[in-house]
Structures are given as structure tokens and as C-alpha cells.
Amino acid sequence: MKTGKEYLQSIEEMSFELYIDGSKISNALEHPSVRAAANAVAATYDLAYEPELQDMIITTSHLTGEAITRFQHVPQSVDDLVAKVSVTRYCNRRLGMCSFRCIQNAYAPMLHVTHKIDSEKGTSYHQNFTEWVKYMQRNDLLACPAITDPKGNRKIPAHKQPDPDMYLRVVGKDKKGIVLRGAKLHQTGAVFSHEKLVLPSTTHRLGDEDYAVACAVPGNAEGIIHISVRQSQDDRRKESVEIDLGNIKYGVHECIAIFEDVFVPWERVFMCGEVEYVDEVVNLFGASHRPTTGGCKAGWADVLIGAVQLMAEYNGLDKVAHVRDKIADMIAITETMYSCGIAAAVRGFELPHAGYVGDPVLANNTKYYASKAVFDLIRLAEDITGGILACCPSEKEMKNPEIATYLERFLKGVDEVPAEHRIRIVRLIENISWGLGSLLHSATHGGGSGQACKMTLYEFSKLQPHREMAVKSAKALAGIPE
């Protein structure tokens, strides 16, 4: 298992083609925005070496029998699913943001689906994927799920798009492998991940066979071009500031990944043209990934609540009834998000030849609830913090000797707390709410939009026996004959 330092060294040894701030750079970690995000990942690697966290972080691979972290584990029980949610909450509480360690959520679904395809089609995808997971575990690597396609006109199937590359597709095959062309958007952590796990983002149909592709490629594979996105307040990372960052240790980084005829050998291909299995891949990944959202967003929210509690103290309002009531509401929202994730895990089930995934209805409900609940969390945080959250002078003003004494005097709350401490907390609340490490953006669209979850929630819910019973009960109670 890698240390954080070893992880960073391994990324520095890779050369990613990255365009950021209008220029091309080869060492992604040289850019402060990328470095701050990679430092967050490094911190999660170091957790494995904290003695008091061994029971939480370390487990045993069912594939190799070797010790691995839970970030690499294929859940083999309901307890493993619960542990995954809890570990994610703990990590994000430590970081105050995303931990970038969700790739294991794809392991069980892909092991199951690849085995199913092999048994029905005579392919060798399951062995390919099993070996790739072993490779990830034995080398303790980070992978970025490459899922979201540009999509073009959302009403038109992939193969009928005016531009055929609106969904990543296979444009060539030979006895050695396949060639990919297109793009993947919203790639969290792509330029500090060792691997990309390419998966379809939507349920393709007959005619879309070229788009039904799943495979693994090195993060820096030839032909992949990364284009950094522009995010709220990201210029602050390039300034000589600390306080204005809010979270002075860690950050996030997203990019677009362009696939310009990228070659993938057959041993790294897990689906190629089997369009009839795409629904299952998409739905099972959602069932596996979305319980983790309950822990992910709860961990973020824990830090937000802690910061808001400090702000209330610094303002002298921590004992005021309405402030305590609002903080209690924030706690209730946070624990509900976490409870949803735990419930989905507890109601999880085993996929043959793979591992365990969460209950699909409760998993999608977790993500759907979180996508709405964070708006209330942030509203309450802003309410308690006050107008200074949107009207705070910059760190440079606070350090200007001509005016610093005014700001030290007039930006204080209670007399015993320096103005700088109060402003640091303001910036952290800003960071988590809608700034450099936005909980809002992550919860709304990270891991799928709330609307996608709601649609899936409705479809899966119709299949549950108690829904049919509920309809019969409603008729009986209202006096309507069957």
C-alpha cells in the first residue's frame, strides 16, 4: 500500500497532456489547483498508516488474499457496504471535500456484468476485468471513472447524432485491440489518476453498438488530451493568498478528456458492442455508487456545521435559541443523508460472481435526497454566518499596513477572537458552500443528477412487491373491487 508521498511521486512520473490557463503543461502537479487536489488524495493514502484507523481502512482482497485499503475493495458483504459509506464520511470530514476514492463502486457491477456476457457470448471480459482489479489492488492505484459523454442533442440516439463523437465510441478494431474516439466530460481527478475506467453514461439501444464500450486505459495514454475546466474562485489558487482559499490544504480539479484515436488492447476491454447489457451496467453502477453519496456529503456537511458553529461563537450568538435551532436543522439534514446511505447499504444484496451492491431504490433515493438537501444546508449556513459571507474584504486588504488596523478592528465579532480567525472561518464556509470546494455542485450533479436518480427511483420502485400490495390496499380501503 502506497504512502501519500509515494502516490504523489507515482503521478509525477506520469506525463499528462494538460491544457490549463491557456497553456499546455506536462507535469500536472506543477499547477497549484491540481496539486491541491492531489494532496487530498495523498492524505487518503496516508490514512492506511495511522495506527488507530487500521480496522477502518484496511481489509483483505477476496481476489488476492492480500491486505488492501477499502478504497480498492470489492464489497463481499452488507458489512462491507456499510463500511464503505462510513469510511467515505470519515475521509471527507478530514478533508472538508471530496476524497476522489470512489472507483471501487464500479468493481462489483462490472464483475457481475462481464461474467454474464461471457457466459452468454463466449467472450473473456470477466477475466480481463478481474485481472485489472487485481492490478489496481496490488499496485494501490487510483482510477478516474470516465463516464459522462458530451451527449449532443439529448433527444437523439448516439448513432444518429450529427457529430458521431458526441458519445465515446469504438472507431476501429483489429486482433490487437480497439481504438476510441470522442470525449468524456466532468472528469474529477483525471490528471492525478493512474487509470481511467471507461464506462457508458447512458442506456444505449440497438444501432448504438459502437458506443457500448467499457475498458481501462492508463491515465496518460497516448491520444488523450486533458482540458482543464474553469471553476468558481479557481484563480485564488494562483494568487499569493492563504486565508482567501478557505480550505488552505486541499482542493478539487476537473477537466475534459479528449480521446483522439486512443488504442486499447483487448485484455483491457470489458465490453465492446454488447449493447443489450448497457442498461444493467448503468443501473448497477448507480446502485453501487449512490449509497456512498450519503457518507460523502455527510462528511462534507460535518465540516460545514463545525465551521458554522465556530462562526456563531465568534459572533457571540452560539447560545441564541434560533441559531441553535438552525444548527440542529443542519445536523438533522446531515444525519438523514448519512442514514439514507446506510439504509441502502444494509438492504444491499449479492451479485453473482462479483460482490455486493446497495438496494437500488434506497441508493437512488440517497442521491436524490442529497441533491436537494444541500440547498437547505447552505441556506442555513449562510443565514447563521451573516452578510459577511458575500461581502468580505480580501486577504490582501487585510495585510495592507495602511488599512489593516481598520479591518482588524471592524471585522471582529467577540472581543477575544482575532478578526483573522473569524475571516478564516468565513472563507471556509464560502469554500464549502459555493466556492473552491463546493458541496452544492458536487451533491447536485456528482454521481448523476437528481433528476436521473428520481427517474431510476421510480422505475425500480415499480418492481418492488410492496408497491403492488400498496395499490391493492388502496383499492380495498377505498371500497374499489379488484
Q: Is residue 229 part of a domain?
A: no
Residue percentage of the chain with pLDDT more than 70: 100
Q: Residue range 294-302: average pLDDT?
A: 96
Domain containing residue 463? 280-467
Taking only the tens place, the pLDDT of each residue in 134-153 is: 999 999 999 999 999 999 99
Q: Is residue 361 part of a domain?
A: yes
> Which residues are CB-neighbours of 418 under 8 A, at least 6 positions away?
408, 412
Q: Residue range 241-262: average pLDDT?
A: 96
- Give yes or no for residue 404 having a pLDDT over 90: yes
Residue 436 banded pLDDT, cuts 50, 70, 90:
confident
- Give yes or no for residue 463 having a pLDDT over 80: no
Residue 446 banded pLDDT, cuts 50, 70, 90:
confident
d(CA 42, CA 5): 7
Q: Is residue 9 part of a domain?
A: no
- Give yes or no for residue 333 having a pLDDT over 80: yes
Taking only the tens place, the pLDDT of each residue in 202-237 is: 889 999 999 999 999 999 999 999 999 998 888 999
Is 0.75 topped by the overall pTM? yes
- Give yes or no for residue 304 having a pLDDT over 80: yes
- Give yes or no for residue 461 having a pLDDT over 80: no
Taking only the tens place, the pLDDT of each residue in 271-284 is: 999 999 999 999 99
- Give yes or no for residue 443 having a pLDDT over 80: yes
Q: Is residue 49 part of a domain?
A: no
pLDDT reported for residue 277: 97
Residue 15 CA: distances (Å) to CA of 6, 9, 10, 193: 16, 12, 10, 11
Among candidates 25, 5, 439, which has minimal Cα distance to 191?
A: 25
Q: Is residue 212 part of a domain?
A: no
Residue percentage of the chain with pLDDT more than 90: 89
- Give yes or no for residue 427 having a pLDDT over 90: yes
Q: Is residue 355 part of a domain?
A: yes
Provide the mean pLDDT of the chain: 95
Taking only the tens place, the pLDDT of each residue in 83-106 is: 999 999 999 999 999 999 988 999
Kindly give the pairing relationship between strand 269-272 and strand 213-218: antiparallel
pLDDT reported for residue 408: 97
pLDDT reported for residue 453: 82
Q: Is residue 221 part of a domain?
A: no
- Give yes or no for residue 430 having a pLDDT over 90: yes
pLDDT reported for residue 41: 98
pLDDT reported for residue 445: 82
Residue 440 banded pLDDT, cuts 50, 70, 90:
confident
d(CA 297, CA 315): 26
Give the angle subtended at the CA of 364 by the CAs of 358 and 370, to the nearest 5°: 115
pLDDT reported for residue 164: 97
pLDDT reported for residue 482: 86
Residue 320 banded pLDDT, cuts 50, 70, 90:
very high
Residue 316 banded pLDDT, cuts 50, 70, 90:
very high
Helix (H, G, I), strand (E, B) or coil at 438: coil
Q: Is residue 334 part of a domain?
A: yes
d(CA 300, CA 461): 29
The CATH number assigned to the domain holding 306 equals: 1.20.140.10
- Give yes or no for residue 251 having a pLDDT over 80: yes
d(CA 148, CA 295): 22
The number of folded domains in the chain is 1
Taking only the tens place, the pLDDT of each residue in 51-79 is: 999 999 999 999 999 999 999 999 999 99
pLDDT reported for residue 465: 79
